[in-house]
A = this chain, B = another copy of it.
Amino acid sequence: MSALERALAEWREALGEPHVITEPDALAEAETATFATSQRIPAILRPASTEEVRASLRIAQAHGIPVYPVSSGRNWGYGSRVPPSDGCALMELGRMNRILGHDERLAYLTVEPGVTFRQAHAWLRAQGSRLFITTIGGSADASLIGNALERGDGRGPHADIFQHVCGLEVVLPTGEHLETGHARFAGSRTAPLFRWGVGPSLDGLFSQSSLGVVTRMTFWLARKQPYLREFFCAVPDEAQLFERVDRLQELALDGTLRGSFFFWNDLKAFSVARQYPFAETHGRTPLPAWALEQFREGLGGRWAISGALHAPDAELGAVLERRLLAALDGLPRPVRLGPIPSEGESPFQGVPSDANLTMAYWRKRSPRPEAPHPDRDRCGFIWCSVAVPFTGEEARRAVDLAERIPRLFGLEPNLALLTHSPRCLYLVLALAYDRDVRGEDARAQACYQALSRELAGAGYYPTRLGLQSAGDTLAVTDDSLAVLQRIKSAVDPSGILAPGRYALTPPRDT
């Protein structure tokens, strides 16, 4: 028996036959992302508890079989469920989908990795909760924990999601069990409330990493606000955009705007509103100027600014609204600023939505299905996200680069600036294409590489990496690679957890 066969036998023993999957169809699905990948998966493990995760990893270690953990596997645009190295067993944590704790007054929710945004929202609503969990732009079926560990960005006051979590339970590749913060002490009253604990703070180590499997996390919730107004504002030309970036940065810094807000370019708005106009363009790509111009007329401009104002009462809200309107004053189109249609039902107050997934179907000739699944539907979709200083000047410099490059590869520059903090924007680009068109996988991958190289060359470095960056090396000026490698060895002496993820191994010679 090979090492893998021995491991499979033990995993079956530990998890039960039905939860160790080796059917070729299931494996092929799991090996499929929204761009070209070549990694093969020998088995899918579906543990149901922290104890089963520990047992699975001990078996993996004993037999030297690498394991790649995913929560719900909706990492679309970053590699979906596909492991960065060949031959990893996929550990799917979807069966661990319990909500373990909730406190209405202290505003938190403790969950397992299988809990999704859709599930958490429905659960809180069923409780009649006055609280909400931040939503994301991606799938409503994404995992809270998976998203937070990738340091995803959301909507509302807790947009920097990983900044608003604590109390991680982590299983190390050795099978050891770790609690971060005060949870490691018996009977602690502050485990879900206080992130630092005492001694070195370890939470950050387990984000964007291959150092442990997080099996529990607490999310701090925000209070639904009696006053909530979404705003939307078209910006006719780019010069006006960058001036507004500066004005709105002021409002973020002084606390008028406490939630995240967004700057979308025309192509992003277009590709969320509808798929590529193949009929009108007679099947020609990339998008001709006249077609974009037509869409712009409907949108009212080159860019759109959107966000939400929220306040604990109407009086306060009215004052904030005046401040915001002053900052947006002078834009030719009227600002839409009004109460949310259905009481409080806004993505800025936790209502998840799959609306943005239309983007992934942009270049598909088949219509977007009721239940979108970009992996299955051979959507071509690659995210590129970098950090940019929150000034109009820096935004202009980064946007200029980012708008130019996709066109060189026959793709549309779908991009947005998201407010990460009053100091920093995320510039996110989506490369959308059709995997059924020959050569497009390679072209999109080449485009991603050119984009990330050019952006890094201009000083804009990634906020998140996916499989599309495998093999790329970001040159570092310090000893971090060697140090991370030693920490990795200390935590994962057999190197079995997610090898190759986030460059914890030194880059190959290039």
Contact = CB atoms under 8 A, between A and B. Distances in A.
Given A178-B478, A482-B176, A389 B106 contact: yes
Contacts of A184: 476-478, 480
A471 to B, nearest CB: 15
A477 B186 contact: yes
A474 B479 CA distance: 34
B107 A423 contact: yes
B477 A196 contact: no
Given A204-B202, A254-B223, A390-B193, A312 B323 contact: yes
B187 A459 contact: yes
A176 B484 CA distance: 12
Contacts of A162: 196
B190 A201 contact: no
A456 B476 CA distance: 43
B225 A194 contact: no
Interface in A104-155: 105-108, 151
A192 to B, nearest CB: 8
A323 B313 contact: yes
A487 to B, nearest CB: 5
Interface string A208-221: 11010000000010
Contacts of A197: 461
A254 B190 contact: no
- Give the interface size class of chain A: 35 or more
A334 to B, nearest CB: 24
A26 B24 CA distance: 73
A207 interface: yes
A316 B255 CA distance: 11
Copies of this chain assembled into the complex? 2
Interface string A458-487: 111111110000000011111110111011
**Most chain B CB inside 10 Å of its own CB: which residue of A163, A187, A256, A503:** A187
B491 A391 contact: no
A7 to B, nearest CB: 23
Contacts of A491: 483, 486-487
A342 interface: no
A460 to B, nearest CB: 6
Given A176-B483, A177-B478, A199-B484, A107 B204 contact: no
A424 interface: yes
B190 A198 contact: no
A255 B484 CA distance: 38
Interface string A421-463: 1111000000000000000000000000000000011111111
9 contacts: A172-B479, A176-B478, A185-B474, A190-B388, A196-B204, A198-B464, A198-B474, A199-B484, A201-B205
Given A185-B477, A319-B319, 14 more contacts: A106-B423, A107-B253, A172-B483, A177-B479, A178-B480, A182-B387, A197-B461, A199-B465, A200-B207, A200-B211, A200-B502, A201-B205, A220-B423, A254-B312
